[in-house]
Chains A and B, each alone.
Chain A
Amino acid sequence: MAEKILMIALSPTMEEGTIVKWHKKEGDSVKSGDVLCEVETDKATMDYESSQEGTLLKIVHGDGTASKVGDLIGVIGQKGEDIQAILSAAPAQSAAPAQPVASAQPVASAQPSAPAQPTAAAQSVAAKPSSAANGPLPTLSPGQSKSSPLARKLASRNGYDIRQISGSGPGGRVVKRDVEGFNPSLAQPAAAGQAYVAATGQNVDIPVTGKRAVIARRLSESKFSAPHYYLKSSVEMERVIEARSMLNKEQTEKVSFNAFIIKFVAEALKRHPAVNASWQGDHITQFGSIDIALAVDLGNGLMTPVVRNCGNRGVVDIDHELKELIQKTGAGQLKPEEYTGATFTISNLGSFGVEEFTAIINPPGAAILALGELKKVPVVDEHDQIVVRQVMKMTLSCDHRVIDGATSGRFMHELTRTMENPVRVLY
């Protein structure tokens, strides 16, 4: 009996995925666990493994097709089977239940992760006109582009901007094959600072799809439902820098600065578990594990890979996992369980020269820590002398439904003191 292959939710937030590439051809035999195709979800490119055995009889949604969860994307069965009945029933999109892959999520009702995304970090190229007219042109060409009605329909069904697609038809018209051969990931705008917009005076509309749509939705949800408030502290970083250089002398691989911050935050959370918590409507969950996410920029969005169980791990161990996660993030290979369910999030814009900023809470966590740059500033020391110190400004955003000001104040005090005197982690 032939069976439908439906698009399933490969991540908890996935409502639609684009089939990047089928690994099986029609007629190939398929074993349970074989990778059928790669699917680009809202967050990453995932392998779709078959839960069925047999022969791939039909590919209904080919490479590059956007498919909603529940869509019929293929048919599997025995060679020579009549699959007409299945195919003719295809357009009726049953509300197939989402089947999230099993993930190690700390909370049963774990909300999809929403990254901390300060507006300052928006990497859109199309935002500001620039006088650098001789800079490289962006992939978007403003104004009208020629395209066939079918190409426009296909593009809109796939969520593509037709103007990003170059045409191969008569007179450069965009035709069906151009849309089918279009790879949106290759057409994404380049990272900030690398592309300029010619001052044409024309607006450019960029369609909101995939990651961008998720970022927009989740952050709006967070910002508009969680009452945010902010605490700011300055930390003198000499001791952390010293500790790091001491440790790195003994290590073949240098431990990153972010790993140290994660470690210190984990220690502070251990001592103030009320901050490591989540608003659940009718109750507050205090997490049994400290899972800290770090916001990672992708140029066209951002991801929040999560280092699990930081409370019980050393900084070298944390650093090792963090590097692996960042590498996977860049390659688009993060699995949902690797970027969802953070109990606390850190966003670091220090490398952009940002002095300080406030971040939006990344649910299900109730707090996010925003780090500015390390900067030498004049400080009045305990002897009332003006001295030069390396100072970093940290801003904690809290969900007031979960964390009151005194609680977060104590947490920040703990964190600051630990960073200024790392020996405190021994207490």
Chain B
Amino acid sequence: MAEYNYDLIVIGAGPGGYVAAIRASQLGLKAAVIEKDKPGGVCLNIGCIPSKALIHQAEVFRSIAGLKEMGVVIDSSKFDYSVVFKKSRTAADRLSKGVQSLLKKNKVELLPGTARFVSAHEIEIDGKNRVTAANIIVATGSSPRQIPGFEFDEKQVLSSTGALMLETLPKRLIILGAGAIGMEFAHIMNSFGVEVTVVEMLDQILPLEDADSVDVVARDFKKRGITMHTSTRATKLQKSKSGIKLTIEDATGKSSTLDADQLLVAVGRAPNSAGLGLESIGVKLDRGFIVTGDYYETAVKGVFAIGDVIPTPLLAHVAMKEGEIAVEHIAGQDPERRVPSDEIPSAVYTEPQVASFGPTEAKLKAAGMAFEKAIFPYRGAGKSVAVEQPEGMVKVLYAPETHEILAAHISGANATELIHELLLAKKAELLPEDIATMIHAHPTLSEAVMESARVAEGWAIHI
């Protein structure tokens, strides 16, 4: 039998990769992870974490308005966005170092460099050293998707990476694409006083989220002065010294132009599958995504792929779970074959926030599935009024006869935390009546979750 250097090599130290490597080590496998950049991947370095740092700062800044109402005089003339930027980098760097120490603590070797497959069990790093492993997990992630005519220059045309790295704010920003990334930047920039216009091709902002949830965000954003064009395509981009001019076309075919200092293109992310030598060893690709079967194994035995490089939801927590499944399978355990798609939470950190799991109401309708819905508005929970965040709702979609929870959609303050009570119920196969009869502390926003379950059972109190 061939002797390998490692039981497992993971390519990419993003959230999927480093979690997989650590899990492997926990299960007694000798593991290494190859990373060409900083450990932590997009999520920690140029994604979730720094953006959440910016969002936090944005909310601190937004609270100035509330202080003014109380008669507090604040001088914001010396506001310096570069401090905000530096804070976000500090957070990212701290966590990236944290990942390094976690790898070390778990005896996972970090091999810096760019990997390329020589065979199903052998990898060349930076065209020099070769390492072998019994199993290899590809966790190379994704990059901002470019579209022809709107290529990133990171000066006037920004990717999400470029937008995170801004040290000064534009006066006017156009955001192309109203997905989670686009809308989070709209929230950040608007909070710091930037004039924001959002252009979305589909007919609603946050196209993957439930229309009722989106409604809460859209109404709030409109009130805050964010201009949103839905069912609208960007057809032409002109760059000049003074800024950019974007030509857009609405659903009726009517054209108009928008002027701004910068354009953020946030139209999705593309898998990083090129240059790895995947095809040469027989791994199958579909439009750039790696095709996987049970336990995320590719067409080549012993080669697995997880995270953004496969066509599953592009979310760090999905990549982590997929990595755990692949590793547990490699280690001879008996994990679930795939992540159950209806148990994946999504979280959008706008304010109001949006969080959900399972299909939207529109999707259930399109699939012809029987369902019922229970909606409870935030304002029915006293806490939301007390903390001046009464806008929002909890929506539960459930099966008519058994009341099995099919999906939940929450929009409003703390939605990204509140979703988990319903998700635990879904996973443990609890029913709305279990939540309805559980005592929830008063006053909390979680009472809105309890009341939504009571709506399903027909006995909500505060509505």
Contact = CB atoms under 8 A, between A and B. Distances in A.
A349 to B, nearest CB: 43
A12 to B, nearest CB: 27
Interface string A34-66: 000000000000000000000001101000000
B431 A91 contact: no
A415 interface: no
Contacts of A91: 370, 400-401
Contacts of A90: 370, 400
Interface in B409-454: 428-431, 433-434
Interface in A141-165: 148-151, 153-154, 157
B400 A150 contact: no
A176 interface: yes
A87 B370 contact: yes
A165 B403 CA distance: 21
A87 B370 CA distance: 6
B429 A175 contact: yes
A136 B238 CA distance: 82
A284 B369 CA distance: 53
Among B402, B403, B430, max chain A CB count under 10 A is at: B402
B402 A157 contact: yes
Contacts of B403: 153
B59 interface: no
Contacts of A58: 368
Given A91-B400, A157-B402, A149 B368 contact: no
Contact of A150 (B365, B368, B369, B430): B430
A90 B371 CA distance: 11
A86 to B, nearest CB: 9
B368 A87 contact: yes
A84 B404 contact: no
B89 to A, nearest CB: 41
A150 B402 contact: yes
B429 A84 contact: no
Contact of A83 (B368, B431, B434): B368
Contact of A148 (B368, B369, B370, B428): B428
Interface in A139-198: 148-151, 153-154, 157, 169, 175-176
A351 interface: no
B431 A153 contact: yes
Contacts, number: 39
Nearest to A26: B368
B370 A154 contact: no
A88 B428 CA distance: 27
By size class, the interface of chain B is 10 to 19
Nearest to A81: B368
A169 B428 CA distance: 9
A154 B402 contact: yes
Contacts of A175: 429
A84 B368 CA distance: 6
A154 B428 CA distance: 14
Given A91-B400, A157-B402, A150 B370 contact: no
Contacts of B368: 57-58, 83-84, 87
Given A58-B368, A60-B370, A90-B370, A150 B401 contact: no
Contacts of A154: 402
B370 A157 contact: no
Given A91-B400, A154-B402, A149 B370 contact: no
A329 to B, nearest CB: 34
A169 B400 CA distance: 24
Interface string A60-89: 100000000000000000000001100110
A60 B401 CA distance: 12
A149 B401 CA distance: 14
Contact of B429 (A87, A151, A157): A151
Which of A84, A150, A154, A157 has the most B CB atoms < 10 Å from its CB? A150
Interface string B136-156: 000000000000000000000
Contact of A84 (B365, B400, B431): B365
A280 B429 CA distance: 51
A83 B367 CA distance: 10
B431 A149 contact: yes
Contact of A157 (B365, B401, B434): B401
Nearest to A82: B368
B400 A148 contact: no
B400 to A, nearest CB: 5
Interface in B255-301: none
B408 to A, nearest CB: 15
Contacts of A87: 368-370
Given A60-B370, A87-B370, A149 B365 contact: no
Nearest to A148: B429
A91 B402 CA distance: 11
Nearest to A169: B429
Most chain A CB inside 10 Å of its own CB: which residue of B368, B403, B428: B368
Contacts of A88: 370
Interface string B155-187: 000000000000000000000000000000000
Interface in B313-372: 365, 368-370
Contacts of A84: 365, 368
Given A84-B365, A157-B402, A176 B429 contact: yes
A213 to B, nearest CB: 21
Contacts of A60: 370
A153 B433 CA distance: 12
B352 to A, nearest CB: 30
Interface string B367-380: 01110000000000
B289 to A, nearest CB: 26
Contacts of B431: 149-150, 153
Interface in A286-325: none
Contacts of A57: 368
Contacts of B433: 149
A169 B433 CA distance: 21
B190 to A, nearest CB: 39
A287 B433 CA distance: 56
Nearest to A150: B429
Given A87-B368, A88-B370, A91-B370, A148 B430 contact: yes
B400 A149 contact: no
Of A83, A88, A151, most B-chain CB atoms within 10 Å: A88
A155 B317 CA distance: 33
Nearest to A83: B368
B155 to A, nearest CB: 49
A149 B433 CA distance: 9
Nearest to B403: A153
Contacts of A151: 429
A349 B402 CA distance: 45
Interface in B27-48: none
B430 to A, nearest CB: 5
Nearest to B365: A84
Contacts of A149: 429-431, 433-434
Kindly list the 3 A-B residue pairs having the minimum CB-CB distance in the complex, ordered from nearest. Answer: A148-B429, A150-B429, A149-B431
Interface of A: 57-58, 60, 83-84, 87-88, 90-91, 148-151, 153-154, 157, 169, 175-176
19 contacts: A57-B368, A58-B368, A60-B370, A84-B365, A84-B368, A90-B370, A91-B370, A148-B428, A149-B433, A150-B404, A150-B429, A150-B430, A150-B431, A153-B403, A154-B402, A157-B402, A169-B429, A176-B404, A176-B429
Given A91-B370, A150-B404, A157-B401, 18 more contacts: A57-B368, A60-B370, A83-B368, A87-B369, A90-B370, A90-B400, A91-B400, A91-B401, A149-B429, A149-B431, A149-B433, A150-B402, A150-B430, A151-B429, A153-B403, A153-B431, A154-B402, A176-B404
